[in-house]
């Protein structure tokens, strides 16, 4: 890949084919994919319904323009709204774009209401929202910003999960607070129980919009279609992407009509956003995720994995320190380097993703079976035994 810009620290490994939770290299070596392109392959690889949807749509029409009606886009929006707080949806192609749209919507809402000075967005410690200039400003990673001349005006950092501290930062210029229900890149950080509910009340009392980044937590990852549904709250707007297209790039801004009032013709746009191919595939992803028992399976398998990892943590305390997260968004707290553990697991055929705070993430396809969870634990045991020997 000598002509590819070296922005990634790539692992020297590539795959040729995927089937369910399995990835195969050219020489037929097999890996259990608990990374899923970072929470993207919601239904694993080569899902038959997704393949059929993509093939049949590709024979009809790929792309027109958002200058015209796009039937599957309308249907996808309807499906999302039927299964969430949403009333209107803007489509784009990635998580960062979904966040850009979310931030724009929040500011425009207040502008539209005559509150032109309400532009300040409260953003959280350890947050990650993407790599565009706007989302870099919102995220809490100084290293990601270094050298890029990022203007962080309009964003105020507040401590994740601390409602009393957050309260102190709200003033007459506060437009919105942007939160991940569970922080992904930051290390699978969960907020204290009741935090989102208190945040909802705080926002409503102060005419501040509640904006959620569900790019990683959304589309069933935590065992509900959207993670905030566990907290039984209604946000004003949320950004989704990653798992939405099951591997086809698509993102979306999902909003209450009232919050989206400023987003009138000409205010925002995307050339590719929600085109025929992307919308058709995403429709099929969501249709499968909301099928009976699908989300219960996420919770069931997730619980099983959490239990087993707990047992392993007791047995190998010098390597593991338990796990946190929800559903199939699992963060393993490491007592060795998370990157080291990731590498050792990979060498034994299990793919995972490092996150902040020395946490290692398991983000398997949501339709895995118990046997795949068992296989994961089996590989973990072998790996941990080997690492124990090396530690001595």
Q: Which is nearer to ligand PLP, 359 or 379 (CB)?
A: 359
> What minimum distance in Å lies between the beta carbon of 251 and ligand PLP?
6
> What minimum distance in Å lies between the beta carbon of 217 and ligand PLP?
7
Interaction residues for ligand PLP, span 272-331 (CB under 6 A) = none
What backbone phi and psi angles, to 5 degrees, belong to 107?
A: -70, -40
> What minimum distance in Å lies between the beta carbon of 213 and ligand PLP?
5
Instruction: Measure the CA–CA gap between 104 and 388, rounded to whole angstroms.
Output: 51
Instruction: Measure the CA–CA gap between 173 and 165, rounded to whole angstroms.
Output: 17
> What minimum distance in Å lies between the beta carbon of 252 and ligand PLP?
12
> What minimum distance in Å lies between the beta carbon of 323 and ligand PLP?
18
> What minimum distance in Å lies between the beta carbon of 298 and ligand PLP?
18
- Report the first-to-last Cα separation within the chain, whole angstroms: 39
> What minimum distance in Å lies between the beta carbon of 40 and ligand PLP?
9
Q: Which is nearer to ligand PLP, 130 or 364 (CB)?
A: 130
Interaction residues for ligand PLP, span 70-109 (CB under 6 A) = 94-96, 99
Q: Which is nearer to ligand PLP, 47 or 217 (CB)?
A: 217
Interaction residues for ligand PLP, span 16-55 (CB under 6 A) = none
When binding is defined by CB under 6 A, the residue of 86, 130, 274, 325 that contacts ligand PLP is: 130
Q: Which is nearer to ligand PLP, 86 or 184 (CB)?
A: 184
Q: According to the binding rule CB under 6 A, does residue 140 interact with ligand PLP?
A: no
> What minimum distance in Å lies between the beta carbon of 130 and ligand PLP?
4
Q: Which is nearer to ligand PLP, 101 or 130 (CB)?
A: 130
What's the chain look like in SS3? CCCCCCCCCCCCCCCCEEEECEEECCCCCEEEECCHHHHCCCCCECCHHHHHHHHHHHCCCCCCCCCCCCHHHHHHHHHHHHCCCCCEEEEECCHHHHHHHHHHHHHHHHHHCCCCCCCEEEEECCCCCCCCHHHHHHCCCHHHHCCCCCCCCCEEEECCCCHHHHHHHCCCCEEEEEECCEECCCCCEECCCCHHHHHHHHHHHCCCEEEEECCCCCCCCCCCCCHHHHCCCCCCEEEECHHHHECECCEEEEECCCCCCCCCCCCCCCCCCCCHHHHHHHHHHHHHHCCCCHHHHHHHHHHHHHHHHHHHHHHCCCCEEEEEEECCEEEEEECCCHHHHHHHHHHCCEECEEECCCEEEECCCCCCCHHHHHHHHHHHHHHHHHHHHHHC
Contact characters 215-244, ligand PLP, x per CB under 6 A: xx------------------------xx--
Instruction: Measure the CA–CA gap between 377 and 85, rounded to whole angstroms.
Output: 37
Q: According to the binding rule CB under 6 A, does residue 188 interact with ligand PLP?
A: no
Q: Compute how many residues bind ligand PLP; rule: CB under 6 A.
A: 15
> What minimum distance in Å lies between the beta carbon of 132 and ligand PLP?
7
Instruction: Measure the CA–CA gap between 127 and 124, rounded to whole angstroms.
Output: 5
Residue nearest to ligand PLP according to CB distances in the complex: 95
How many residues does the structure list for the chain? Answer: 392
Q: According to the binding rule CB under 6 A, does residue 129 interact with ligand PLP?
A: yes
When binding is defined by CB under 6 A, the residue of 44, 184, 218, 349 that contacts ligand PLP is: 184
Q: Which is nearer to ligand PLP, 90 or 128 (CB)?
A: 128
Q: Which is nearer to ligand PLP, 184 or 223 (CB)?
A: 184
Name, in order, each residue with C-beta under 8 angstroms of 249's C-beta and a sequence gap of 6 or more.
93, 94, 278
Tokens of 236: 């004003």
Q: Which is nearer to ligand PLP, 241 or 301 (CB)?
A: 241
> What minimum distance in Å lies between the beta carbon of 382 and ligand PLP?
30
Q: Which is nearer to ligand PLP, 101 or 349 (CB)?
A: 101
Interaction residues for ligand PLP, span 157-176 (CB under 6 A) = none
Q: Which is nearer to ligand PLP, 242 or 326 (CB)?
A: 242
Binding residues for ligand PLP (CB under 6 A): 94-96, 99, 128-130, 180, 184-185, 213, 215-216, 241-242
């Amino acid at each position: 890949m000598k002509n590819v810009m070296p922005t990634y620290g790539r692992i020297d490994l590539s795959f040729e084919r995927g089937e369910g939770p399995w990835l195969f290299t050219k020489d037929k070596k097999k890996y259990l994919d608990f990374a899923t392109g970072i929470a993207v392959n919601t239904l694993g690889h080569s899902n038959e319904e997704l393949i059929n949807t993509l093939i049949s749509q590709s024979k009809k029409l790929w792309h027109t323009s958002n200058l015209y009606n796009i039937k599957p886009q309308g249907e996808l929006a309807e499906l999302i709204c039927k299964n969430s707080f949403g009333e209107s949806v803007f489509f784009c192609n990635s998580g960062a774009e979904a966040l850009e749209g979310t931030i724009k919507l929040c500011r425009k809402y207040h502008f539209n209401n005559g509150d032109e000075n309400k532009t300040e967005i409260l953003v959280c410690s350890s947050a990650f929202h993407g790599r565009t200039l706007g989302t870099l400003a919102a995220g809490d990673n100084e290293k990601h910003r270094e050298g890029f001349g990022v203007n962080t005006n309009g964003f105020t950092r507040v401590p994740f999960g601390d409602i009393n501290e957050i309260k102190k930062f709200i003033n007459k210029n506060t437009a919105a607070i942007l939160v991940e229900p569970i922080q992904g890149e930051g290390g699978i950080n969960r907020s204290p129980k009741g935090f989102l509910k208190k945040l909802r009340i705080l926002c409503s009392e102060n005419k501040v919009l509640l904006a959620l980044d569900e790019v990683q937590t959304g589309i069933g990852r935590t065992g509900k279609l959207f993670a905030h549904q566990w907290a039984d709250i209604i946000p004003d707007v949320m950004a989704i992407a990653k798992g939405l297209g099951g591997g086809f790039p698509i993102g979306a801004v999902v909003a209450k009509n009232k919050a989206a009032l400023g987003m009138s013709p000409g205010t925002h746009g995307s050339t590719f956003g929600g085109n025929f191919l992307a919308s058709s595939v995403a429709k099929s992803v969501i249709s499968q995720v909301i099928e009976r028992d699908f989300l219960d399976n996420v919770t069931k398998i997730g619980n099983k994995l959490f239990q087993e990892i707990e047992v392993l943590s007791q047995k190998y305390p010098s390597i593991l320190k338990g796990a946190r997260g929800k559903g199939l968004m699992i963060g393993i707290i490491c007592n060795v380097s998370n990157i080291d553990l990731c590498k050792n697991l990979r060498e034994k055929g299990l793919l995972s993703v490092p996150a902040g705070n020395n946490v290692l993430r398991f983000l398997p396809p949501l339709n895995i079976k118990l046997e795949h969870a068992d296989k994961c634990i089996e590989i973990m045991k072998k790996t941990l035994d080997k690492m124990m020997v090396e530690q001595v």
